[in-house]
Chains A and B, each alone.
Chain A
Amino acid sequence: MREMTCIVCPIGCQLRADPTKMTVSGNRCPRGRKYALEELTSPRRTVTSTIRIIHYQKPEHDAQLSAMQSALVSGRPMEDCDRSAFKPLVDFFCPSANHIEGRLPVKTAQDVPKDRIEDIMQAIHHLVVTTPIHMGDVIIDNIADTGVALIATRTLLEL
């Protein structure tokens, strides 16, 4: 018998799940049963985090931007693209500069396997997008080969 707390809604029922018989008790609704069974076989979580976002104002930096965006589109880590082009751009953080970097909140569109969270976080570290962006926009449609999309959870027209 395994004891666990249901995390699907704020009530947080105390569930008891039997891994051999695959039975669940303690749940006040069917979502709890589904959660417990999944937890026994392949636990899943939604990952939320932030990614870097740059507010772009001047055309002079097109080269850097396209380097970043090609990395983004291909899903390749930033490391693979031209670092020398990337570096000066992200050094600007003063409001007087042409580019301002901020953070965009994101989430996985569905639950992902718990043991893939690390890989997703690693992949997230390498992403950069530019404004404008809208809530629900897909940043990358298959994050860290999980088959799950990473989506923006807010609209940022400028920083």
Chain B
Amino acid sequence: MLFYMVITMTKPSSDKADVVIIGGGVVGTSIAYSLSCYDLRVILLEKDNDVSLGATRANSGIVHAGYDPIPESLMARLNVEGNRRMSALCKDLDVPFETCGSLVISRSEEEDQIIQQLYERGIRNGVPELKILSADATLDREPYLTRDVHSSLFAPSAGIVMPWTLCIAMAEVFARNGGEIRLETCVSGLNSSTSGIRVQTNRGDINARFVVNAAGLFSDEIHNMADRPDFKILPSRGEYYLLEKNQGKWAKSVIFSCPSPITKGVLVARTAHGNLIVGPTSETISDKEDTSTTAEKLHEIREKASSLVPCINFSENIRNYSGIRANSDRHDFIIRRVPSVPGLIDVAGIKSPGLAASPAIGPYVVDLLRREGLQLQMNSSILRDPNRLKRKVVRFHDMSPQERASLISTDTRYARMVCRCETVTEGEIRDAIHAPLPARTIDAIKRRTDAGLGRCQGGFCAPRIAAILAEELHIKPTDILQDKEGSYLFTGPTKIAPESTCDAVAVTKADTISGRTDSMPAEVKHCALAIIGAGPAGLAAASKAYAEGITDIIVFERDKETGGILNQCIHTGFGLRVYNETLTGPEYAERAAKEIENTDISIFTDTMVLDIRSDRLITAVNRKDGLFFCHADAIILAMGCRERTRGAIAIPGSRPSGIWTAGTAQRYMNIEGCMIGSQAVILGSGDIGLIMARRLMLEGIHVKACVEVMPEPGGLSRNIAQCLEDFNIPLLLSHTVTEIKGKERLESVVIAQVDSKRDIIVGTEKEITCDTLLLSVGLIPENELTKQAGLTLDKNTGGPYVVNATTCLTDGFFACGNVLHVHDLVDDVTLEAHKAAYEAAAFLKANGNIHIDDKESISGPMSSVTHTQNTPNSLRILPSDAIRYVIPQYLSLPINNDIIDISFRVRQSYERAEIIIRRSDKLEVYRERKSHVKPGEMQKIHFSSSMLMAPEINQNVDLILDITEGN
């Protein structure tokens, strides 16, 4: 409702049109775009609240070369022509596109023959530069392919495009040139008369001279409104995996397996955005809008794709989704005038390669309309300025530092980062909201700006985008939608008594800058110590380093205040070790901040570090200083961690709103004051999930179950007791969520028991009605900057390798807190940060960066460590198979008479355990008994380094940490 009103605020004088286009997919908008240069009144009708929500948003994004369609068909002609036009079109419209070529892979003699046939067809269709490659030539192009390649068909003209960006771009240009787009307008009838066609919709009728039926999946139904049934749409669903950008490297071109009469092939390709897309399956379905995924089909994709490109790592999954092809009972596209209904043009059955063909379909349909008698008069303002048919958008992510700086100097909103994964600024979000076709939902913003498309899947940016949407559109948070109508996010505000009638919801003001922000000149700045992140780790490192005599410190924090994740952890249970009392998260954060209050440490809040080079040059941006550089003599990394998302655990089913990571839900409930639902299920028994179970119950959201796939809970026992048992919430161990149901908002989840191999036990499935699902399925150290700085990450911890405690393998880098490994308790984070401060201070002093008269002020346990050369002169600590990870991974040599602290996690739980450290020459150096050792709890041991000494130790010896069942 809301959306419609805003867009068509300027209500047209009369509802008459020269052309009505039904359907805002890539086909409908391509026709609209092609008509936008003429003096015509054109109205595009779309039943959903944005364009591109049908097949256009969930497809492979491949611009096929054109060897597939049957020669002489319309499909063949429009595919090849569309492919030829795509590059120029995307350039005009500023749409990401790349001509990367495609390969169809043959792995047998039979397949060689199919490839030969495709080649011949392609030549007849006029596909340029097509050739057949030998096995060697194929592997030269695509080195990660399976070795059993026989040959391949190489089509250099194939490409990849962002399909919804293309569709939105064409719609925007159409709207900017006077075309009218009516969203949430569903066509319910077509009445033909002598003067034209009367189009009936839920928002009034329109008299049109011509009607173009580009309604995708519904094009048969639209046709049948005006004429007797002719063709039938046969919906066919395709499911996908979308993987992290680090997987994009496995495919340079689009790689297809060879299609056969029995099985349809699978494709592996990089998207125009750099991710890896794998799929699709093909399954005839009856419900035209059922875009669920299924365990079975996802399994099929993994099998097929792995046989083609073996190194794909499916645990790097971001998202599963499916799209529905509007296949028809005809072989060819159906683009023609409907003989019995003058003025009606069907553009139907536009299956793959419809996207590739779309740049040609628009002009083709315009020509058809002209032949039917539509007068085409060039619009005079476009004649004067052809650039009106082009578009340019701001993409901060793709800009050079110079371009970024000059952009920020025009508008500082481009200096505030909203999406950290994709580097999207507040300015871009606001641009999208004010574009000719305004973005009005969280997903509409995502489609236009990429915010939320990255690895955290909106966990960080969605609350910020919600605040901006509420502000710009003057709507209540309860009116904010994730996607289509019905996909609401919030049920109301917190802290409203149930019987109360008032309906206030607060979303944190998007524009406030609180906390301390010091300014910095625009040129390259210098500091002795830079700390990235002002959570508990960053704050503790800053105060301790200051106490060590390092005064020239800058702390960078992307949030508007310090404290990090603690600000939203309003429960108690922090600080017993560090402050000797039990505090809430905000109290702990405030104490930590107080410790540096009266120092001259600079804290830059609302400041995003965009890049760190291995020579410790930091690029950062904020609204006050714009884009700026800072060279640091030492850097402490303290960026914390992020949550694993639904993609990482690949739950099949639909994609409704109401699925939150526990931490995001915590932020909405505790900081923004938004109620996220009414009945919830929690997946995962990590501490955040348990704490949130209690929060939801207290706030009046009923928690029906906490489901954990492992045979034992992940969080602390005290949290099981005080968060679940206190509230009688059932804890279902060895259970998992197997399916998600609900179209727009979550309606229910299916859970089932799993066996010891975590396979689902058939027959144990149960459906639980709920509108909210919280995921507490683990945390991942946030190490994008660490990687940019060239540091390698330990696969087991997810953080950088460290020597002694926090010293990274690249000179001058230190890491502490959750960025190094995920901690259970903030007290441990603070203590680790203190070590980072000692080690960084020692490094600065040893390198002469800092001159302090009183050398004795270095009092920390690592004071005597020398830091100039790390890797060569150090000893490795290796985890045995029973140990999940160990920190530190190295000890520097020579080892002095210090206490050595080792932290580790185990893989299974032990009633009684023996912890043993052995040298690789089999000599045992340490043994300790410990009871109640659990995988969910970090283990720590301390011992004197003198135990390692005799006989003499050198870098050829490794230490092995092991654990066994004790007695």
Contact = CB atoms under 8 A, between A and B. Distances in A.
B474 A95 contact: no
A99 to B, nearest CB: 10
B495 interface: yes
17 contacts: A4-B721, A5-B717, A7-B718, A7-B722, A10-B573, A10-B716, A48-B571, A48-B572, A52-B673, A77-B497, A91-B503, A91-B504, A101-B673, A105-B584, A135-B590, A153-B586, A154-B567
Contact of A5 (B573, B590, B721, B824): B721
Interface residues of A, number: 50
A91 B721 CA distance: 39
A103 B568 CA distance: 11
A100 B571 CA distance: 24
Contact of A79 (B500, B672, B699, B825): B500
Contacts of B514: 157-159
A95 B824 contact: no
B470 A5 contact: no
Interface in A39-55: 45-52
A133 B289 CA distance: 51
Interface in B674-731: 698-699, 716-718, 720-722, 725-726
A56 interface: no
B587 A9 contact: no
A159 B508 contact: yes
Interface in A75-123: 77-79, 83, 86-87, 90-91, 93-96, 100-103, 105, 107, 114, 117, 121-122
Given A79-B497, A96-B471, 16 more contacts: A14-B717, A50-B570, A83-B502, A87-B502, A91-B502, A93-B507, A94-B474, A102-B509, A103-B495, A103-B672, A107-B570, A125-B497, A153-B587, A154-B567, A154-B590, A157-B514
Contact of B587 (A45, A135, A158): A135
A50 B495 contact: yes
A159 B586 contact: no
B721 A103 contact: no
A81 B698 CA distance: 25
A93 B573 CA distance: 32
Contacts of B824: 10
B2 interface: no
Contacts of A127: 495
B671 interface: yes
A54 B572 CA distance: 24
A158 B512 CA distance: 9
A154 to B, nearest CB: 4
Interface in B560-601: 567, 570-573, 576, 583-584, 586-587, 589-590
Closest A-B pairs by Cβ, 8 of them: A90-B504, A12-B717, A154-B586, A101-B506, A5-B721, A105-B570, A95-B509, A7-B718
Of B503, B673, B824, the most chain A CB neighbours within 10 A belong to B673
Interface in B481-500: 494-497, 500
A28 to B, nearest CB: 11
A70 interface: no
B495 A107 contact: no
A38 to B, nearest CB: 13
Nearest to B474: A94
A95 B510 contact: yes
Contact of A100 (B506, B583, B726): B506
Contacts of A6: 718
The number of chain B residues touching the other chain, given as a range, is 35 or more
A33 B584 CA distance: 24
Interface in B428-477: 470-471, 474, 476-477
Contacts of B512: 95, 158-159
A45 B506 contact: no
A159 B512 CA distance: 7
Contact of A154 (B477, B587, B717): B587
A61 interface: no
Contacts of B15: none
Contacts of B471: 94-96
A90 B570 contact: no
Contact of B495 (A125, A135, A154): A125
A5 B720 contact: yes
B470 A12 contact: no
Nearest to A14: B717
A153 to B, nearest CB: 4
B186 interface: no
B590 A155 contact: yes
A124 interface: yes
Contacts of B717: 5, 12, 14
B863 interface: no
A14 B477 CA distance: 44
Contacts of A95: 471, 509-512
B306 interface: no
A126 interface: yes
B721 A7 contact: yes
Of B471, B511, B698, B699, the most chain A CB neighbours within 10 A belong to B698
B494 A103 contact: yes
A51 B509 contact: no
A93 B570 contact: no
A106 B463 CA distance: 22
A150 B520 CA distance: 41
Contacts of A105: 570, 584, 586, 670
Given A10-B825, A94-B474, A45 B673 contact: no
A49 B573 contact: no
Nearest to B722: A7
Nearest to A87: B502
A93 B508 CA distance: 8
B197 to A, nearest CB: 44
Contacts of A83: 502
A126 B497 contact: yes
B505 interface: yes
Interface in B119-169: none
Contacts of A47: 698
B472 to A, nearest CB: 9
Contacts of A8: 718
Contacts of B504: 52, 90-91, 93, 101
Interface in A18-73: 45-52
Nearest to A101: B506
B260 to A, nearest CB: 58
Contacts of A7: 718, 721-722
Contacts of B720: 5
Contacts of A45: 722, 726
Contact of A153 (B576, B584, B718): B584
B698 A49 contact: yes
B497 A100 contact: no
A159 B509 contact: yes
A47 B722 CA distance: 11
A50 B496 contact: no
A65 B494 CA distance: 20
Interface in A119-142: 121-122, 124-127, 135
Contacts of B507: 93
Contact of A102 (B506, B576, B589): B506
B502 A90 contact: yes
A153 B132 CA distance: 70
Nearest to B509: A95
A8 B572 CA distance: 10
A101 B301 CA distance: 48
B572 A107 contact: yes
B676 to A, nearest CB: 14
Given A50-B494, A93-B507, A94-B474, A12 B587 contact: no
A86 B275 CA distance: 51
Contacts of B474: 94
A136 to B, nearest CB: 8
